[in-house]
């Protein structure tokens, strides 16, 4: 079994955290970490060489809502996401915590430039924003699939994809078209305020609306009402935009 030592270390940390959490009747972290431990272990047992997929499972299993836990587990493991297509998997929109590998084709030389420019022109969305979302969601891996079921370049959930007319989320053209259409809808809904729209892309419009966020200023003032993963996600996408702005 060819398990990356860093993955093995994290499994041990998860097991320890689970045991400690179970000793505290008020702690939910033990249960969450036990579930994550089992999910990662099952992934490795089914495919012993799937270290990258295991890292994705660590992010998607749901126990990384705690910042200190996230930092302890993920920081030493980011560099382990490499190699096979499984290792290049994107992270779920529901998570917002990314383990991005190097883009398959990054920057202005992206092999998806034509599709991105076409979709951006059609829906009035900046190509740099589309690229930043793709980079953050999947690291330009068209075959990415998260543990939560988000698929493709822009990590569309099946229900969202169906509503956008996407029949194959792993088809780059359909995925970019659908994801850009959804971005355009959110940008329109929130009056062009990118922070609010990106928060909704990650956490869902309903959650953003319940948080009272309608503008960029609202996001800055009220982002504490959103999951920390979403707060980080918005910053990550906006930071990536600078890399793709001509």
Q: Collapsing DSSP states into helix, strand and coil, what is residue 145?
A: strand
Domain closes at, from 88, 118, 148: 88
The model's pLDDT over 23-59, given as tens digits with 9 standing for 90+, comes to 443 444 444 555 555 655 565 555 545 545 554 554 4
* Domain extent for 41: 5-88
The per-residue pLDDT for 64 is 36
The per-residue pLDDT for 245 is 77
Q: Phi then psi for 75, rounded to 5 degrees?
A: -55, -45
Question: In terms of domains, do 176 and 146 share one?
Answer: yes
Whether 94 maps to a domain, the answer reads: no
Burial 121-148 (b: 16+ CB within 10 A, else e): eebebbbbbbbbbbbbbbbbbbbbbbbb
Question: In terms of domains, do 60 and 119 share one?
Answer: no
Question: In terms of domains, do 113 and 219 share one?
Answer: yes
Number of H helices, E strands in the chain: 12, 0
Whether 73 maps to a domain, the answer reads: yes
Residues annotated as catalytic are: 137
The model's pLDDT over 85-131, given as tens digits with 9 standing for 90+, comes to 222 333 334 333 333 333 333 344 468 999 999 999 999 999 999 99
Question: In terms of domains, do 221 and 123 share one?
Answer: yes
Question: In terms of domains, do 204 and 240 share one?
Answer: yes
Q: Are 21 and 33 in contact (CB under 8 A)?
A: yes
Could you tell me which of 214, 220, 207 has the C-alpha nearest to residue 187?
214
pTM, entire model = 0.58
Question: In terms of domains, do 127 and 216 share one?
Answer: yes
């Amino acid at each position: 079994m060819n398990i990356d030592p860093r993955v093995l270390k994290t499994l041990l940390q998860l097991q320890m955290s689970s045991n400690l959490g179970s000793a505290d009747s008020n702690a939910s972290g033990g249960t969450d970490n036990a579930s994550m431990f089992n999910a990662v272990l099952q992934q490795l047992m089914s495919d012993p060489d799937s270290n990258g997929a295991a890292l994705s499972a660590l992010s998607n299993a749901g126990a990384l809502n705690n910042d200190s836990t996230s930092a302890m587990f993920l920081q030493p493991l980011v560099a382990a996401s490499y190699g096979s297509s499984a290792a290049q998997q994107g992270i779920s929109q529901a998570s917002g915590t990314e383990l991005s590998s190097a883009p398959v084709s990054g920057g202005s030389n992206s092999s998806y430039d034509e599709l991105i420019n076409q979709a951006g022109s059609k829906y009035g969305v900046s190509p740099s924003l589309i690229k930043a979302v793709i980079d953050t969601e999947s690291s330009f891996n068209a075959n990415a699939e998260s543990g939560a079921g988000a698929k493709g370049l822009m990590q569309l959930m099946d229900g969202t994809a169906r509503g956008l007319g996407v029949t194959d989320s792993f088809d780059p053209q359909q995925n970019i078209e659908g994801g850009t259409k959804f971005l355009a809808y959110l940008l329109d809904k929130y009056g062009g305020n990118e922070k609010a729209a990106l928060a909704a892309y990650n956490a869902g419009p309903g959650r953003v609306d319940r948080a009272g966020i309608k503008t960029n200023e609202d996001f800055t003032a009220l982002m504490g009402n959103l999951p920390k993963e979403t707060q980080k996600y918005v910053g990550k996408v906006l930071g990536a935009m600078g890399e793709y702005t001509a």
